[in-house]
């Protein structure tokens, strides 16, 4: 390709020079197309935002009063002669792949995605393209997910057994995506679902967006603990080991993440139960998704990029490794566990008090967690 | 095998001690007696013999996984455990198997006489019949790398609850060189006498450190508060050798190291003195190399541990002798219930009668009247080739395992230097996929020379930060090792330092570990090779 590429990787993010817009930029820009509302993809400080309808309320809740345009999947938006459209990525509710077309050349940026239908996010749809920019968070063959029905059968029987043994049940997952996926797949004949404030705020934002979620009860100070113990408690990772969680003692605590596939990672988390449940594609999922695009070349942004790129080249793809700030180069096991600094929310977000909004710490929802640290 | 795999899964699923004991009891209550004994053998560190070499197992696993060899290696670095990597990479099982743990181990042991082709066929078929959690424990058995996340004392506790036999007695009964194929559960729970197995050692009594960390020194006043009157205590040097139990029973001799390895053949120079002991004698002590009657640093002993054949030169120049400090059995009678002082008198009597005082030495008692005085003596530890001082309560019995109260070790502070991290490698187990194993260097002029590797000493939070740094500051990759931008400085502590011809730096450290991360120091202020050489004391 002698001509200027349609998309380029800059120090602010993925940039379309012809269309004068960025995709998921991590530094303030004029025009940002956002794949999904997780904090490492949707940063504060851009002049204009474009995202899917279902991301609307969550983005407003998280980022405050931003200049936000939302669209339907497949709807076309023109930016300086470049056609931009969103397609379902199946990662979380409202997550999208960004399709960019100019003079017959098509690029797709995957954002984060999974190929399995989780029953709540619009399922992933492969998009034909010339250039596919893909994540590969779990781009190692040791990551192979079981169907979610199997995982939730385990979750529900664990919950049931906890109720029998008079243990509270605390299940931990990220507040946007994992929490709703768990909520929609629980066996509600066992008991009620109680939520941590951070998760309930996200649920409320999604409900305002017209998403139908199973009933939940926000946990409050004066709630009788004995009642809560009979149900299941949905909690964000930031609550692990806090006094908030300890007050449910005795409890069993389950952690839902793709990293739970490895014993070592599970032991580090010190969870009672590790459920292998990810909102990212597994090894086979990544390869089948890339293959389905029919792309000429594929660019790997975050995850096990070096290994995955080498393998793809060996099996006949034209694959390239790219450095971005979406997580690190080798996945998340490296994430520092220390408390992240609060996201700088300045304005009131949709009627929530500032202090409450600040509970949502930066990085808390970074997919499988990604945080910047300074050494 | 299903029950055994489930046992592993269940143990992994809880961090609570009571819960673990319950899981172990459930396991004991459901499996056949032969499985119980195999499980006990595995959980007390008795690995089955490796019947297929691990390169072959690895190659066949790569074949079964249908991925390139390099990708298998990369996967292994992510998982940090070979058995688990193989279990995760293989395709779903085709069938299932109802063989017990005993049956599987019998099949593995029968492989020894088979041809390579037969072994491969058997292994491929076996993998296809096991689900991924069964495959994991099966691979562990096969590769002989069996480490369990549960202490032997918990297993004993569960067994004690079930059998009604007290834990110390059970601990004793599973010591020594029994085989799960021949030692039955019935024998284990029956009333036993010392004559049942004349080789069986006693469980070692282990000391706790009197000061929790080397950074927080205990003052002699604090020591007085903790330990009380000086007169109740006996003090000895803490020797840096191989903790051992030496047995003479029924005309036979046995030497056990603390890792419960029978090491009788490794120390032929001790045989005459052991033969000369009266029957029914068990001595607890430390094995050390000696030269011209002086104890040598541990590295002298270390060079001969791994050897199959001991050269005449080694036996003549640096023979091993025992520094005895306790007597556990006398005239065929278990005397562990007697007081320290009483046992000491018996030990001294035995030593006085030996025709081999060069080989059978006594750990001298250190005379002291105040803690302050003892503290001064402790400062001479290094010159004595000792790690510090042992304190033993004069009226205490010899107990089982690591117990607080009657035996304390009062170690000297480690030596230390500030060093720069230059290489990093991923860890294993709980540290899988994290850069946790580092190589450190000191300055030699304007060059950094590597001198030590260390794995431990940082908190989880610090490890995460270093890992983050390594991933962003890699200069080169050599297989699993990364060359890292020299920038981070750490204080490295170690117990001893010796010359070495095997290491580039010309020195070898004993027990190097990270004392702390020196965030306050730029790399230019790290120590030099000269400062290390000065510690050699030559």
pLDDT band at A373 (very low <50, low <70, confident <90, very high): very low
Q: What's the mean pLDDT in B454-462?
A: 87
- Of A3-7, A56-60, A311-315, the range with the lowest mean pLDDT is A3-7
Last residue of a domain, one of A275, A306, A321: A275
Which pairing describes strands A14-16 and A21-23: parallel, antiparallel, or unpaired? antiparallel
pLDDT band at B214 (very low <50, low <70, confident <90, very high): low
The answer to whether residue B39 scores a pLDDT higher than 90 is yes
Please report whether residue A45 resides in a domain: yes
The answer to whether residue B396 scores a pLDDT higher than 50 is yes
- CATH 1.10.3260.10 occupies which residues in chain B? 2-143
The predicted structure's pLDDT at residue A327: 52
Interchain CB distance below 8 Å, A141 and B65? yes
Quick one: A104 and A69 in the same domain? yes
Q: Which of A136, A139, A142 should be substituted to probe chain B, the one whose Cβ sees the most B Cβ atoms within 10 Å?
A: A142
Interchain CB distance below 8 Å, A272 and B469? no
Q: What's the half-sphere exposure (Cβ side, CA atoms, 13 Å) at B144?
A: 13
User: B18: Cβ–Cβ under 8 A, 6 or more apart, which residues?
Assistant: none
How many C-beta atoms lie closer than 10 Å to residue B319's C-beta?
17
User: Across the A/B interface, how many CB contacts are shorter than 8 Å?
Assistant: 99
**What is the predicted ipTM?**
0.85
Interchain CB distance below 8 Å, A336 and B464? yes
Interchain CB distance below 8 Å, A142 and B89? yes
The predicted structure's pLDDT at residue B300: 83
The predicted structure's pLDDT at residue B325: 96
pLDDT band at A236 (very low <50, low <70, confident <90, very high): very high
Q: What's the mean pLDDT in B305-321?
A: 80
pLDDT tens figures, A256-291? 999 999 988 887 777 888 999 999 999 999 999 999
Chain B residues with beta carbon closer than 8 angstroms to that of A140: 74-75, 78
The predicted structure's pLDDT at residue A326: 66
Please report whether residue A119 resides in a domain: yes
The answer to whether residue A335 scores a pLDDT higher than 50 is no
Interchain CB distance below 8 Å, B430 and A268? yes
Which residue from A minimizes the CA distance to B434? Answer: A334
d(CA B114, CA B52): 10
CB contact A263 to B (< 8 Å): yes
Quick one: A77 and A174 in the same domain? no
Q: Please tell me which of A19-28, A270-279, B196-205, B313-322 the model is most confident about, judged by mean pLDDT.
A: A19-28
The predicted structure's pLDDT at residue B346: 97
Quick one: A287 and A313 in the same domain? yes
CA distance A338 to chain B (A): 7
Q: What's the mean pLDDT in B53-80?
A: 94
- Of A133-147, A314-328, A355-369, B422-436, the range with the lowest mean pLDDT is A355-369
The predicted structure's pLDDT at residue B198: 87
The answer to whether residue B89 scores a pLDDT higher than 50 is yes
d(CA A143, CA A135): 14
Angle between helices B101-109 and B132-143 (to 10 degrees): 40
The predicted structure's pLDDT at residue B224: 83
pLDDT tens figures, A78-127? 999 999 999 999 999 999 999 999 999 999 999 999 999 999 999 999 99
The answer to whether residue B103 scores a pLDDT higher than 60 is yes
Which pairing describes strands B252-257 and B233-239: parallel, antiparallel, or unpaired? unpaired
Q: In terms of pLDDT, which residue wins out, B212 or A27?
A: A27
Which residue from B minimizes the CA distance to A146? Answer: B92
Residues B225 and B389 sit within 8 Å (Cβ to Cβ) = no
Please report whether residue A213 resides in a domain: yes
Total domains in the fold of chain A: 2
Quick one: A247 and A180 in the same domain? yes
Interchain CB distance below 8 Å, A331 and B13? no
Q: What's the half-sphere exposure (Cβ side, CA atoms, 13 Å) at A174?
A: 25
pLDDT band at B195 (very low <50, low <70, confident <90, very high): low
A356 exposure class (CB count in 10 Å sphere: 0-12, 13-18, 19+): middle
pLDDT tens figures, B3-23? 999 998 888 887 788 889 999
The predicted structure's pLDDT at residue B194: 52
The answer to whether residue A346 scores a pLDDT higher than 70 is no
DSSP state of B216: S
Please report whether residue A297 resides in a domain: yes
Q: What's the mean pLDDT in A47-60?
A: 97
The kind and range of the H/E element at B290 are strand B281-291
At the fourth CATH level, which superfamily is domain B415-535? Nucleic acid-binding proteins (2.40.50.140)
Question: Does residue B258 have a cis bond before it (omega within 30 degrees)?
Answer: no
The answer to whether residue A362 scores a pLDDT higher than 60 is no
pLDDT tens figures, B164-183? 998 888 888 888 888 899 99
Domain residue limits at A257: 148-275
d(CA B150, CA B20): 8
d(CA B137, CA B4): 8
CB contact B81 to A (< 8 Å): yes
Q: Which of B67, B74, B77, B89 should be substituted to probe chain A, the one whose Cβ sees the most A Cβ atoms within 10 Å?
A: B74
Pick the CATH number of B2-143 from 3.50.50.60, 1.10.579.10, 1.10.3260.10, 1.10.10.10: 1.10.3260.10
Interchain CB distance below 8 Å, A264 and B65? no
Chain A residues with beta carbon closer than 8 angstroms to that of B437: none
CB contact B376 to A (< 8 Å): no
Provide the percentage of residues in chain A whose pLDDT is more than 90.
Answer: 70
The architecture in CATH of the region B205-411 reads 2-Layer Sandwich (3.30)
Q: Which of B15, B431, B488 sits opposite A264 (nearest CB)?
A: B431
How many C-beta atoms lie closer than 10 Å to residue B160's C-beta?
18
The kind and range of the H/E element at A292 are helix A283-292
Q: Which of B88, B133, B469 should be substituted to probe chain A, the one whose Cβ sees the most A Cβ atoms within 10 Å?
A: B88
Chain A residues with beta carbon closer than 8 angstroms to that of B81: 263-264
Please report whether residue A355 resides in a domain: no
Tell me the CA distances in angstroms from A26 to A37, A40, A91, A324, B146, one per residue in order: 13, 7, 20, 9, 46
Reference B86, options B76, B77, B78; nearest CA is B76
- At residue B124, φ and ψ (nearest 5 deg) are -60, -40
CA distance B435 to chain A (A): 9
The answer to whether residue A318 scores a pLDDT higher than 50 is yes
CB contact A373 to B (< 8 Å): yes
The predicted model scores a pTM of 0.79
- Of A54-63, B163-172, B300-309, the range with the lowest mean pLDDT is B300-309
Residue-averaged pLDDT of chain A: 85
Q: What's the mean pLDDT in A327-348?
A: 32
Q: What's the mean pLDDT in B206-223?
A: 76
- CATH 3.30.470.30 occupies which residues in chain B? 205-411
d(CA A178, CA A119): 12
Provide the percentage of residues in chain A whose pLDDT is more than 70.
Answer: 86
CA torsion B160→B165→B170→B171, rounded to 10°? 70
Residue-averaged pLDDT of chain B: 89
The predicted structure's pLDDT at residue B537: 67
pLDDT band at B312 (very low <50, low <70, confident <90, very high): confident
- Of A285-289, B78-82, B404-408, B412-416, the range with the lowest mean pLDDT is B412-416
Give the CATH number for residue A204: 3.40.50.12650
Alpha helices in B130-254 (DSSP H): 132-143, 152-163, 167-173, 185-189, 220-227
Please report whether residue A131 resides in a domain: yes
d(CA A244, CA A252): 14
Last residue of a domain, one of A226, A252, A275: A275
The predicted structure's pLDDT at residue A141: 97
The predicted structure's pLDDT at residue A6: 94
The answer to whether residue B305 scores a pLDDT higher than 80 is no
Q: Which two tokens stand for residue A162?
A: 């906890």
Quick one: A256 and A320 in the same domain? no
Give the CATH number for residue A117: 3.60.15.10
Interchain CB distance below 8 Å, A142 and B78? yes
Please report whether residue A365 resides in a domain: no
């Amino acid at each position: 390709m002698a001509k200027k590429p349609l998309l380029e990787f800059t120090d602010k993010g993925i940039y379309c020079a012809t269309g004068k817009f960025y995709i998921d930029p991590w530094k303030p820009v004029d025009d940002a197309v956002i794949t999904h509302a997780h904090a490492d993809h949707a940063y504060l400080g851009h002049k204009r935002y474009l995202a899917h309808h279902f991301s609307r309320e969550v983005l407003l809740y998280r980022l405050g009063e931003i200049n936000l345009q939302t669209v339907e999947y497949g709807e076309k938006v023109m930016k300086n002669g470049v056609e931009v459209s969103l397609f379902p990525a199946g990662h979380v509710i409202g997550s999208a792949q960004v399709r960019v077309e100019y003079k017959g050349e098509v690029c797709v940026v995957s954002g984060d995605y999974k190929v399995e239908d989780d029953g709540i996010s619009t399922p992933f749809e492969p998009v034909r393209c010339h250039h596919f920019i893909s994540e590969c968070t779990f781009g190692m063959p040791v990551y192979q997910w079981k169907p979610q029905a199997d995982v939730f059968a385990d979750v529900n029987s664990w919950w049931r057994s906890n109720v029998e043994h008079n243990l509270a049940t605390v299940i931990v997952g990220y507040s946007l995506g994992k929490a709703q996926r768990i909520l929609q797949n629980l066996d509600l004949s066992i008991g009620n679902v109680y939520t941590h404030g951070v998760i309930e705020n996200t649920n409320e934002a999604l409900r305002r967006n017209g998403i139908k979620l199973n009933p939940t009860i926000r946990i409050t100070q004066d709630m009788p603990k004995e009642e809560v113990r009979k149900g299941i408690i949905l909690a964000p990772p930031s609550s692990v080991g806090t006094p908030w969680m300890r007050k449910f003692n005795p409890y069993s605590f389950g952690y839902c993440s793709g990293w739970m596939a490895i014993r070592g990672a599970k032991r580090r988390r010190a969870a009672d139960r590790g459920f292998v449940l990810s909102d990212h594609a597994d090894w086979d999922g990544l390869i089948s998704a890339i293959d389905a695009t029919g792309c000429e070349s594929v660019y790997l942004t975050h995850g096990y990029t070096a290994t995955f790129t080498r393998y793809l080249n060996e099996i006949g793809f034209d694959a390239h490794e790219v450095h971005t700030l979406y997580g690190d180069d080798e996945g998340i096991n490296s994430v520092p566990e220390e408390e992240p600094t609060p996201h700088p929310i300045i304005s009131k977000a949709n009627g929530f008090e500032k202090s409450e909004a600040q509970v949502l710490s930066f990085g808390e929802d970074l997919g499988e967690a990604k945080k910047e640290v300074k050494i | 095998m299903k029950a055994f795999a489930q046992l592993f899964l269940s143990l992994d699923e809880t961090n609570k001690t009571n819960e673990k004991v319950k899981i172990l009891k459930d396991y004991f209550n459901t499996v056949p007696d032969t499985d119980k004994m195999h499980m006990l053998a595995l959980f007390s560190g008795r690995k089955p013999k490796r019947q297929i070499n691990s390169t072959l197992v690895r190659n066949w696993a790569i074949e079964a996984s249908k991925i390139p060899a390099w990708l298998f290696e990369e996967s292994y670095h992510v998982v940090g455990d070979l058995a688990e990597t193989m279990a995760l990479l293989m395709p779903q099982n085709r069938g299932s198997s109802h063989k017990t743990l005993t049956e599987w181990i019998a099949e593995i042991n029968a492989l020894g006489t088979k041809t390579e082709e037969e072994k491969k066929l058997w292994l491929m078929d076996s993998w296809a019949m096991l689900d991924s959690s069964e495959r994991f424990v099966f691979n562990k058995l096969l590769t002989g790398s069996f480490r369990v996340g549960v202490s032997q004392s918990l297993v004993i506790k569960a067994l004690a609850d079930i059998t009604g036999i007290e834990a110390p007695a059970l601990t004793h009964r599973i010591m020594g060189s029994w085989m799960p194929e021949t030692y039955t559960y019935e024998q284990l729970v029956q009333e036993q006498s010392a004559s049942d197995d004349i080789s069986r050692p006693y469980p070692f009594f282990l000391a706790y450190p009197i000061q929790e960390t080397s950074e927080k020194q205990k003052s002699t006043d604090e020591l007085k508060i903790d330990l009380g009157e000086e007169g109740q205590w006996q003090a000895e040097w803490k020797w840096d050798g191989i903790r051992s139990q030496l047995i003479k029973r029924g005309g036979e001799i046995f030497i056990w190291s603390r890792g419960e390895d029978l090491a009788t053949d490794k120390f032929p120079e001790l045989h005459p003195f052991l033969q000369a002991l009266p029957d029914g004698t068990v001595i607890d002590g430390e094995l050390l190399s000696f030269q011209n009657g002086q104890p040598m640093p541990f590295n002298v002993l270390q060079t001969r541990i791994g050897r199959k054949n001991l050269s005449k030169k080694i036996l003549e120049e640096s023979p091993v002798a025992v520094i005895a400090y306790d007597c556990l059995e006398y005239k065929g009678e278990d005397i562990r219930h007697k007081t320290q002082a009483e046992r000491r008198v018996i030990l001294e009597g035995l030593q006085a009668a030996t025709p081999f005082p060069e080989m059978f030495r006594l750990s001298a008692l250190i005379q002291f009247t105040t803690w302050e005085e003892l503290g001064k003596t402790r400062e001479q530890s290094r010159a004595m080739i000792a790690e510090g001082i042992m304190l033993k309560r004069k009226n205490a019995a010899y107990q089982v395992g690591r117990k607080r109260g009657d035996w304390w070790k009062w170690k000297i502070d480690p030596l230390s230097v500030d060093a720069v991290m230059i290489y990093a490698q991923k860890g294993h187990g709980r540290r899988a996929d994290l850069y946790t194993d580092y190589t450190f260097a000191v300055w030699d002029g304007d060059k950094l020379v590597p001198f030590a590797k260390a794995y431990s000493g940082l908190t989880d939070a610090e490890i995460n930060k270093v890992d983050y740094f390594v991933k962003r500051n890699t200069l080169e990759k050599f297989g699993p090792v990364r060359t890292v931008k020299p920038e981070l400085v750490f204080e490295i502590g170690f117990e001893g330092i010796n010359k070495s011809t095997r290491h580039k730096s010309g020195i070898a450290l004993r027990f190097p570990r990270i004392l702390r991360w020196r965030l306050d120091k730029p790399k230019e202020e790290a120590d030099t090779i000269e400062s290390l050489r000065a510690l050699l004391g030559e």
